[in-house]
Structures are given as structure tokens and as C-alpha cells.
């Protein structure tokens, strides 16, 4: 394994997460199941905020607040004319009542979904499911609050649907893979910055759902060697590199790989083993707060690229920075999906995958290069640089105009 050149002086510790108060917090309790849900609007710009809706057992208000703050950072960092929000439901998405719980949550949040909150998929809630719920509520599609503002809502809805459902190589849909494509190019940009050829770069990915799976696919297509992937059942390892497309074909609807059909030569390891894999780049793409002070000592990767929201705790990030390990923050590395969605809404890209891929590739490489240049030359953590971008968003006057 070739080691990249990193800052010889430890970078400044990652700053504590900014704790400015959200614009709005809403709390909901489902009378039929006792499920609890939250909407947090961190910032409202032009009357709009954007952020997905997640469902998992144990989801908390604090978690949703952190995620909404991250969404506000994403929209500001990518110069999008909206604020950041997040929805969360404390309920098991595998429970047979989960769809009905999601429907009742969206019905309760309808005043915000109708006029201010643009939501989408997140952990436990795939895009096709939330779109089904919106259709049932006569809201057409989960970008409804933005689409209804456009000069021609019918044409805008058609553009959005065509973009989300555009076919791409591998048998995927553009809307399902664009976020992972962005993560993959954050990794590729890091390799370029440190002079690593794709074939000489090793990767470990925690999570092979929508985001992690797409990132794995595009990294494999680029020639990088993915030696370890993990899902809820454990870590799969092969020193020579995994056949990523074959493994992705074995996933179920929850992003878990069928162990009974694994190709030969793959070693099965505990779930946490992916974090300590001896690789160049570690991609946590599963859950929030995956990297903590306790397990940060085990990490051997030279850079961490956050594909999951809030994947690294502030304390763990400070410890990693002191060791010379940068963390490319989620609000840059995994922001491709939200940036692309708004480019699509605003008519800046169409349903051509090549147009979308080209714009996101260029944007991601530029931002990662700036982050890592500041890390190596000025000893400033990528998160702090990203926060400086987010703290100085482009000016916005009046409501958001959607063509």
C-alpha cells in the first residue's frame, strides 16, 4: 500500500459542532403504534428548506437536529438557494406497520411538506416509498413544496421524474446513484491530491445501501481496490479486492448481502472490522456516529470520507486530526444528491446522466482539492474549511424562483 503525503504537523483539532438553535422543532407521536417522529428546520431560506426523512429504531431529536444542521451546511456549501431540514421517525423500518407510520407522519407534517419542506429518501426510507406516500396524499412527489412554486409545475414535475428515473450503466436509476457517485469522486479526488493511482488505492466501505452501494460501484468502475465492505450482518474481506457488482447483486431491500450465495474466497469478519481495515480510504456509509473516540484508535486509513450523515463524532474527529488523519465532512462528500436534486429542480441539469455526472464530478473534485490543500499546507481540518464556506453563503433576496 502506498502512503499518501500528509501534513507533518497535526492539523488543528476539529471544532465543536456549531450549536446555534434551529428555526423550528416539531414533535409527533403516532397514536396507533407510539412511534415518535421529529421535524427540525435548521434554516429557512427563500421560504424553503430541504432534507430527507429517515426511519430507524432509536432515532432521537438530537440526531435529527444534527442532521438538519448538516443539511444547512450542505445547501450553503454548494450555494443552493434553500435552507436545511431533516425528518426522523423512531420506528423499525422492517416492521410491517412501517409504511403506515410513514404515511401518518407525512400527513401530520403536511402543512410543511405542502409549502416549505422538500424531503427525500434517507436511512430506512427509500425514494420510491416516500414518493408513493406523497402520491397517496395527493402531493405528487417528495419535492412538492418546490415544484408547486415553479412557473410550470407540470413541466417541472416531469423534469424531476425523468431525472430521477433516468437509466444508467449497471441497471441503476440516476436518482438512486448520484449521491454515491459524488462520494466516489470525493475519494478519487483525495487520491489525485495525494498522487495515488486508482489501481494503487485501497478502500473499505461501511454500508452497501443506496449511498454506500453506489459509491462502491463507481469506485470499482474507476479501478480502485475495495478490500472490505460491511453491512448489518458483518464485514466481507478479500485482500485482492472484492467483486463489487457481484456483491451488490446479492443485496436485499435493506442493503444486506445474502451470505448463502457469496463467491468463493471471501472472508467473513465481525461488523466492526471494516473500521480497522488496512486501507488508504475509509468510507463510513451506514449510520450516524459510527466513528467514536473508542474505535478511532483502530482506524488505519489515511483519510475518511463521510458518506453517512454525521458519521464521525467531534471528539473522534479531533483525535484523528491529531494523528494526521483528515475527515472529509459529510456536508461536502455526500452532498452530491441534494446538490443534484436542486440543479434538476432549477433546470440547471436535465435527465441526461452524462450532464449530471460531469457537473458533479467537476464540482466535487474542486471542493475536495481545496479541503485537502488547506489540510496539507495550512494544517486546517477539512471540516473547519467547509464550515467557513457554509458560514458565508451566497446572498439571497426574495423567494426561490423555480423555472
List active site positions. Answer: 86
Compute CA distances 345 → 111, 157, 173, 186, 271, whole Å: 21, 9, 17, 23, 38
Instruction: Return phi, psi of residue 207, to 5°.
Output: 105, 125
The count of other CB atoms within 10 Å of the CB of residue 286 is 23
Q: Quick one: CA torsion of 336, 337, 339, 342, rounded to 10 degrees? A: 160
108 Cβ contact partners less than 8 Å away, ≥ 6 residues apart: 28, 37
The count of other CB atoms within 10 Å of the CB of residue 100 is 15
Please choose, from the candidates 83, 100, 73, the residue with its C-alpha nearest in 3D space to the C-alpha of residue 39: 83
Separation CA 52–CA 373 (nearest Å): 31
240 Cβ contact partners less than 8 Å away, ≥ 6 residues apart: 225, 227, 265
Phi-psi region of 95 (alpha: psi -120 to 50; beta: other; left: phi over 0): beta
Residues 27 and 89: beta-carbon distance below 8 Å? no
Amino acid at each position: 500500500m502506498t502512503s499518501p503525503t500528509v501534513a507533518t504537523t497535526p492539523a488543528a483539532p476539529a471544532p465543536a459542532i456549531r450549536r446555534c438553535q434551529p428555526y423550528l422543532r416539531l414533535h409527533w407521536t403516532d397514536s396507533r403504534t407510539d412511534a415518535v417522529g421529529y421535524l427540525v428546520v435548521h434554516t429557512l431560506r427563500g421560504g424553503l428548506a430541504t432534507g430527507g426523512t429517515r426511519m430507524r429504531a432509536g432515532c432521537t431529536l438530537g440526531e435529527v437536529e444534527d442532521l438538519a444542521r448538516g443539511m444547512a451546511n450542505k445547501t450553503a456549501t454548494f450555494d443552493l438557494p434553500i435552507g436545511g431540514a431533516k425528518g426522523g421517525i423512531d420506528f423499525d423500518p422492517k416492521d410491517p406497520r412501517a409504511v403506515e407510520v410513514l404515511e401518518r407522519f407525512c400527513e401530520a407534517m403536511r402543512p410543511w411538506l405542502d409549502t416549505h419542506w422538500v424531503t427525500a429518501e434517507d436511512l430506512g426510507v427509500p425514494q420510491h416509498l416516500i414518493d408513493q406516500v406523497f402520491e397517496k396524499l395527493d402531493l405528487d412527489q417528495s419535492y412538492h413544496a418546490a415544484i408547486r412554486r415553479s412557473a410550470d409545475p407540470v413541466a417541472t414535475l416531469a423534469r424531476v421524474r425523468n431525472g430521477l428515473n433516468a437509466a444508467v450503466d449497471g441497471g441503476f436509476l440516476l436518482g438512486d446513484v448520484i449521491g454515491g457517485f459524488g462520494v466516489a469522486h470525493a475519494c478519487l479526488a483525495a487520491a489525485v491530491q495525494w498522487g495515488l493511482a486508482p489501481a494503487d488505492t485501497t478502500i473499505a466501505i461501511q454500508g452497501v445501501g443506496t449511498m454506500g452501494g453506489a459509491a462502491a460501484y463507481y469506485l470499482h468502475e474507476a479501478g480502485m481496490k475495495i478490500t472490505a465492505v460491511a453491512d448489518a450482518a458483518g464485514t466481507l474481506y478479500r485482500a485482492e479486492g472484492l467483486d463489487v457488482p457481484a456483491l451488490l447483486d446479492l443485496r436485499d431491500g435493506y442493503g444486506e448481502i445474502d451470505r448463502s450465495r457469496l463467491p468463493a474466497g471471501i472472508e467473513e469478519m465481525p461488523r466492526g472490522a471494516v473500521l480497522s481495515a488496512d486501507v488508504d480510504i475509509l468510507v463510513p456509509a451506514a449510520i450516524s456516529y459510527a466513528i467514536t473516540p473508542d474505535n478511532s484508535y483502530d482506524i488505519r486509513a489515511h483519510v475518511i470520507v463521510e458518506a453517512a450523515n454525521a458519521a464521525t463524532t467531534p471528539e473522534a474527529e479531533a483525535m484523528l486530526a491529531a494523528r494526521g488523519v483528515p475527515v472529509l465532512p459529510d456536508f461536502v462528500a455526500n452532498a452530491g444528491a441534494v446538490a443534484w436534486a436542486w440543479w434538476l429542480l432549477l433546470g440547471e441539469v436535465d435527465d441526461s446522466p452524462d450532464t449530471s455526472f460531469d457537473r458533479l464530478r467537476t464540482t466535487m473534485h474542486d471542493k475536495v482539492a481545496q479541503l485537502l490543500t488547506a489540510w496539507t499546507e495550512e494544517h486546517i481540518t477539512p471540516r473547519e474549511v467547509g464550515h467557513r464556506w457554509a458560514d458565508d453563503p451566497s446572498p439571497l433576496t426574495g423567494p426561490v424562483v423555480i423555472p
